[in-house]
Structure formats: structure tokens, C-alpha cells
Structure 1
Amino acid sequence: MIDYFIALLPALFLGSTSVVLVAQGGDDRQRTIGLLTGAFLFSALATPFIEVHWTPRTLIISFISGVILGIGQYLQVICLKVLGVSRTMPLTTAGQIIFMCLGGIVLFGEMNHGLALVFALSAIALLTIGVFFISKTEKTEAAAQEEVDWRRGTILLVVSTACLVAYLLIVQGFGLDGRSVVLPQSVGYLLVGLVATIPALSPQLGKEDRRWSWLTVRQILPGLMWGAAILLTQISSSRMGVAVAFPLSQMGVIIQTFGGILILHETRTPREMRWTIIGVVVMVIGVIMVGVARSFG
């Protein structure tokens, strides 16, 4: 029972992170710096209490994967503003699971035979259907006034999701220990955050540099939550296996979706709300099927 409790904690933290990040206010630079700084601090504080095995190879590859993770998180923070939490997070969650499944099948030979392949492909189909329903919009006057920029949001969503998948595949592909990568990764993504938010390099976020403010400090809280989720996922994976730990960690999509609607007051018409509920339910079934597929693989 304690193993399942540990496995579900990342879902709670991941599900709450984006909602808290947006609810506390601030601009995209403040959110990015606060989030990545908080995660770095958590990694630095936790590392002395976990068993790590560092080699030059581990440090270099972990740092590179951290840079990719940082790019993904930076673009995702911007996407939260463009599409909203209740749209961004379920869509990127589905994308990550779909690409992780395909990566496992194509690159690592996982879930590529028998019942494992059947459940994996079925999960991908369900997640795709879930994405379709969540992204459906109704053409109303209120929707037009909301001005959701789907073109820009889709680009941000695809690139950020690709980065969030790539960093995991790199770690898995090189066979690195999850605990040992946490701190060098955090150095990589913090560096990306500091560089990417320089006004000269991010004019689209405004000319004024307000990174170093009380709002940035407040955003360290969701950063600590995100850092805790990463570490707990690694611990859960070592205790229960990735087959169970990864799907359970994605259950936070429920909190992200309905937290965005109920807490952040992101608008939905009654029909869009029904579509969103259907999409989330289908996605949760798809997530469970990924776990089933991995158990056969």
C-alpha cells in the first residue's frame, strides 16, 4: 500500500504545479525562473539524502538532458498563458504518453509483441481520441472574445512536448540511474531558464526585465513541487517499476484540467465542458492501458 501511495504523490504534485504557478500571478519570465529555481533547490537539498553514482559520462548526459528539459518547461510555461492550463496540460500529457509509447516500441523494443502491443496501440488510440475531445471548441461569441491562439499554442505545445519526451528517452537510452541524474539535470534546466528569459533573447515576452521580484520568489513553491514530483517518480519507478509508476504519475491530468476551469476560471461552454469531461475520462483509461501494456512487455 505504501508503494502505491508513493506512486500517486507525483500525480498530486504535478497536477497542482501548473495551477499554483498560474494562480500566483507574475509574467512568463517570473514563472519560468521561479519554477526552475525551486526545482533546482529541491534537487540540491535532496541529493545528499539519496544514493547517487556520478561519472563524467553521467554528468554530461544528464546536463544535456536537463537543457532539453529546460527548453520544454520554458515553452510550456508560455503555452499555459496562450492556451490555458485546462487545455495545455491534458494535451501535453497525452502527447508525452503517446510519444513515450512509440519511443519504447520503436527505439527500445518495448511492448512490441502480443498483448503488450495490442494494449499499447489501443492506449495510443484512446489518448488521441481524448486529445480530440479536449481540444474541441464551439464557435460562439464568448469563444471569439477569449481569443485562444491555437496556431501559436499548437507550435508551443508540440515543441515543448517533444522536449519533455526527448529528455526522458535520452536518460533511458543511455541507461542512467534516475537518482543520479536529478542534480546535474537541474543545473541544465536552470541555466536554460536564466538564459532564455534575458529580455534581449526573449523580446516577445516584453522589454522590461522583472525577473528578480517577490513574484519570482513566490513561484519557487510550484518549483519545489515539480522537483519533488521528479524525484518521487524516480523512487517509485525503482520500487514498482516504470510500468506502474509512469502511468500513475500522469493521473494529475485530472487536477490540471478541472483546476484550470474551476480555480483559474478558464471558460468553457456547457458543450465544451461535456467534451472536456469525455476527453479526460478517455485519457485516464488510456493511461491505465499503458500500464497494462507495460506489464505484458
Structure 2
Amino acid sequence: MEVENMSIVLMLLPAIAWGILPLAVARIKGKPINQIFGTAVGTLIVSIVVFLIIRPNISIMNFVLAALAGGFWIIGQLGQYNAYRSIGVSQTMPISTGLQLIGTSFIGVLIFGEWASVNAKIFGVIGILLLIVGISLTAKKDNGRQANKQTGTLMMLVLTTVGFLVYNSIPRAMTSSGLAIFLPESVGMVIAVLLYIIFTKQPQVLREKASWQSLLAGFIFSIAAITYILSVRDNGVNSAFVVSQLSVVLSTVGGMVFLHEAKSRHELILTIIGLILIVGGAIITTIF
């Protein structure tokens, strides 16, 4: 019974932590570059501790590939952090999550040969359609409300989602996985952030208070990542992944409740319907 309870806890923790992450980041008074720097460094700190505890074996090639994946994660996460400021957490997360699910599904089919059977293809297409409709509904704004800002932000999310897709795809082609690649991924994250700071000429970021306050975001992300890896081990990929997607519900509702992000009654109804469709699409594309 205790083992079963622990498996359930491990299944729920990633959803809770990933759901809380956007809310914690949005509460930090800083720019997206401060937030992404703190997230990367905080993740590196936790990953070093984990590495020293479990001492995993990993080849140099896998270390480099994992670091590259971490670097691409920064692209996706920086896009999210910028969107939080522009259109809010409650609108960003359903859109970003839906885009990632659609992209990951296509990569799975085209590169990794998933959806091999006819039934899998049928359910997969249905799931993708649900995701597209869900994204469209959550992105819907009443006429005249921040239309130009929203269009630009949506385009940015589409482009930066490529970073998340590469981050999710590289480990699938590696012989090492799980906690073994957690440290090299975080090393890649920090290197990518430092390169971004250098190329954008923002060295002051390293000294700003908001950057170091954002370490909390890195700790929260690490909890989500570690517990997700353990949940996959205990519950299987499908169950762990589907439950983790509930994070989008938590972050969206949290954005409206705790961050006081305003929505009209019409927008709220569309957002709720969109969330249901996104979660449903995630279940169908994963389970079937």
C-alpha cells in the first residue's frame, strides 16, 4: 500500500510543480532574462546535488547531446517567460502546452515511427484536432482586446516552441536517460543563458536581485523534472505524461485566481472548454 501511495504521489508532483512554476515566476519582479537565468542556475545547483548522490555513468557523447537539449530548452522557456508578461500565464500555458503536444506528436510519428497501426493513426489525428481546437479557444479574445500584442506573442510562442521540441526529442535518441542526463542538461541551460546574456550585452543581469530570487523557479522546475523521471519509472511513460499535463489546468486557473488575470465571462467559458479539449487531446494522443 505504501508503494502504491508513493507511486501516486510521484505521479501528481510533476503536475503540481510544473503548474506552480509559471505562478512563481510571474510573481518575481524582474525581466524574463532575470527569470531564465535564475531558473537555469537553480536547476544546475539541484542537478549537482543529485549527481553527487546517485553518481550516474554517462558517456561524453551523451553528455554533449544532453547539454545541447538543455540549451534548446532555454529557447522554449524564454519564449514562455516573455509571453507571461505580454498576455499572462492563464493564456500562455494552454497555448504553449498545446503547441508542444502537437509538435511532439508529429515528431513521434515522422522520426520515431509512432502511431504504426491504423487505430493509432485515427486516434492520433483526433487528438491533434482536439488540441488545435483547444488552443484556438484558449487564445480567443473578445474583439478589440490586445489583438496586436496577442498576435505577436502567439507567433513568438510558435517559433520558440521549437526549442521545447528539440529538448524533448534529443533524449529519445540517446542511450542514457533519466537522472543521468539531468546534470548535463542543466549545464547546457546555464551555458545557453550566459551566451544569451553576452550576445544581448546584459551583464548587469548577473548582479540583479531578481536574477537570484529566480533560483526558486529552478528549484521548482527541478522537483518537477526529478519526480517526473521517477514517475515514468514507477508508473510508465503514458500514465506519467498524461497526469503531468494537468499542470496546464493548475497554472491557468492559478493565473486567474492568484495573479488576478482578468477574463470576460465569454473568454472564461472558452478557456475552460479549451483546457478540457487540450487535456483530452493529450490523453488520446498518448494512450491510444
TM-score (norm 2): 0.92
1:101 equivalent in alignment to 2:105: yes
Cα displacement string for residues 59-104 of structure 1 (whole angstroms, at most 9, x for unaligned residues): 1111111111122222221122122111111111111111111111
Report the identity percentage.
26
Please tell me the root mean square deviation across aligned C-alpha atoms, in Å: 1.9
For structure 2, list consecutive stretches of 5 or more residues without a partner in the other structure: none
Alpha-carbon distance between aligned partners in 2 of 1:190 and 1:155, rounded to the nearest angstrom: 26
Deviation at 1:288, TM superposition (A): 2.0
- Return 5+ residue gaps in structure 1 as ranges: none
Alpha-carbon distance between aligned partners in 1 of 2:57 and 2:125, rounded to the nearest angstrom:
36
- The aligned counterpart of 2:276 is 281
| In 1: Cα distance, 2:238 partner to 2:175 partner | 16
Q: Work out the CA distance in 1 between the residues paired with 2:246 and 2:148.
A: 26
8 Å Cα contact 2:23-2:251 kept in structure 1:
yes
Partners of 1:243 and 1:79 in 2: CA distance: 29
Separation (CA, whole Å) in 1 of partners of 2:19 and 2:124 = 24
Aligned to 1:82: 86
Which of 51, 69, 77 is matched with 1:73 structurally? 77
**Structure 2 residue 178 is the aligned partner of structure 1 residue 174:** no
Distance 2:208 2:99 in 1: 34
For residue 258 of structure 1, what is the aligned residue in structure 2? 253
> Deviations for 1:187-231, whole angstroms, at most 9, x for unmatched residues?
111111122134xx337xxx7934423322221112101122112
Listed as ranges, the matches of 1:69-218 within 5 Å are 69-140=73-144, 143-144=145-146, 149-198=149-198, 201-202=199-200, 209-218=204-213
Measured against aligned partners, the alpha-carbon deviations of 1:243-287 in whole angstroms (never above 9, x if no partner) come to 221221111001111111121122211111111111011112222
Residues 118-154 of structure 1 deviation map (CA, whole Å, 9 limit, x = unaligned): 22222111111100100011015xx25xx76123212
Q: Normalising by the residue count of structure 1, what TM-score does the alignment of the two structures yield? A: 0.89
Measured at CA, do residues 148 and 230 of structure 1 come closer, stay the same or move farther in structure 2, by a change above 3 Å? farther
Contact 2:44 2:190 in 1 (8 A): yes
Q: Report if the CA contact (8 A) 1:83-1:148 is conserved.
A: no
Instruction: Tell me how far 1:291 sits from its aligned partner.
Output: 3.2
- Answer whether contact 1:34 1:218 (CA < 8 A) is retained: yes
Give the CA deviation at 1:237. Answer: 1.5
Task: Write the deviation string for residues 149-183 of structure 1: whole angstroms up to 9, x where unpaired.
Answer: 12321232012211101111111023431221110
Worse overlay, 223-232 or 167-176 = 167-176
Shift of residue 115, structure 1, vs aligned partner: 2.8
- 1:21 is aligned, of 19, 25, 50, to 25
Mapped to 2, the partners of 1:56 and 1:290 lie a distance apart of: 34
Decide whether aligned partners of structure 1 residues 86 and 57 sit closer, same or farther in structure 2, where only a CA change above 3 A counts. Answer: same
Distance 2:115 2:13 in 1: 26
